């Protein structure tokens, strides 16, 4: 018998008095119909709306997502279009890593951003923040990455050329604690 996602999510939330992360499990199944794709998208959005401090779900089984092209496309083009970090878990630890040291080198139409860190063993991810004009952007990078090449100029909304600026890198540990910018 089908369960009501909002009712079930409310019940789970009521059993979470410590307000720790609550990421409901969603079974994608083998159904590749548009109806199932819409149902999964709805469950994700309901979870985000009801749990604004814990915006996430766990897909069971990810193999079912990878073997379901309409589902994978809907997820990539929709709720998972942008990269995201796992939220902080302060009850496990709240000591943020030290801030990396960042340097930039400009050559013709490229800007190379490089960074070092005093204690790389504490770093799980890097976040590169930058902007073109008022368009703020970011990239979440793996722990082994130490440089990224950016375009020096990008087209703005009116095709004007915007120069990359406000480049900074932060370090993120396994608990989601992010260094200062």
Tell me, yes or no, whether 9 and 72 share the same domain. Answer: yes
**Domain annotation covers residue 168:** yes
Q: Cα–Cα distance between 11 and 113 in angstroms, integer?
A: 47
At 128, which CATH number? 2.60.40.10
Helix/strand/coil for 160: coil
Show the tokens assigned to 109: 């139409």
CB 65 within 8 A of CB 71: yes
Q: Classify residue 174 as exposed, middle or buried by CB count within 10 Å of its CB (0-12, 13-18, 19+).
A: middle
Q: Does the reported pTM lie above 0.75?
A: yes
Tell me, yes or no, whether 149 and 115 share the same domain. Answer: yes
Among 77, 112, 137, which residue terminates a domain?
Answer: 77
- Each residue's pLDDT, cut to its tens digit, for the chain (181 residues) gives 678 889 999 999 999 999 899 999 998 888 889 999 999 999 999 999 999 888 889 998 888 888 899 999 999 999 999 999 989 999 999 999 999 999 999 999 999 999 999 999 999 999 999 999 999 999 999 999 999 999 999 998 888 999 999 999 999 999 999 999 9
Helix (H) or strand (E) segment spanning residue 76:
helix 69-77
Range of the domain at 42: 5-77
Tell me how many domains the chain contains: 2
**Domain annotation covers residue 96:** no
Tell me, yes or no, whether 71 and 113 share the same domain. Answer: no
Q: Cα–Cα distance between 77 and 65 in angstroms, integer?
A: 14
């Amino acid at each position: 018998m089908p369960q009501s996602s909002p009712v079930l999510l409310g019940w789970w939330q009521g059993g979470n008095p410590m307000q720790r992360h609550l990421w409901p499990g969603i079974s994608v199944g083998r159904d590749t119909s548009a109806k199932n794709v819409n149902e999964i998208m709805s469950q994700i959005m309901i979870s985000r709306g009801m749990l604004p401090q814990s915006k996430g779900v766990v897909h069971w089984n990810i193999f079912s997502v990878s073997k379901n092209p309409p589902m994978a496309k809907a997820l990539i083009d929709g709720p998972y279009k942008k990269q995201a970090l796992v939220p902080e878990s302060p009850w496990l630890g709240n000591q943020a890593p030290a801030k990396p040291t960042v340097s930039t080198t400009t050559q013709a139409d490229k800007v190379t951003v490089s960074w070092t860190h005093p204690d790389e063993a504490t770093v799980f991810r890097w976040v590169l923040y930058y902007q073109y004009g008022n368009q703020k952007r970011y990239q979440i990078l793996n722990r082994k990455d130490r440089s990224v090449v950016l375009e020096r100029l990008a087209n703005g909304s009116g095709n004007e050329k915007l120069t990359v600026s406000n480049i900074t890198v932060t370090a993120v540990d396994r608990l989601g604690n992010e260094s200062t910018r």
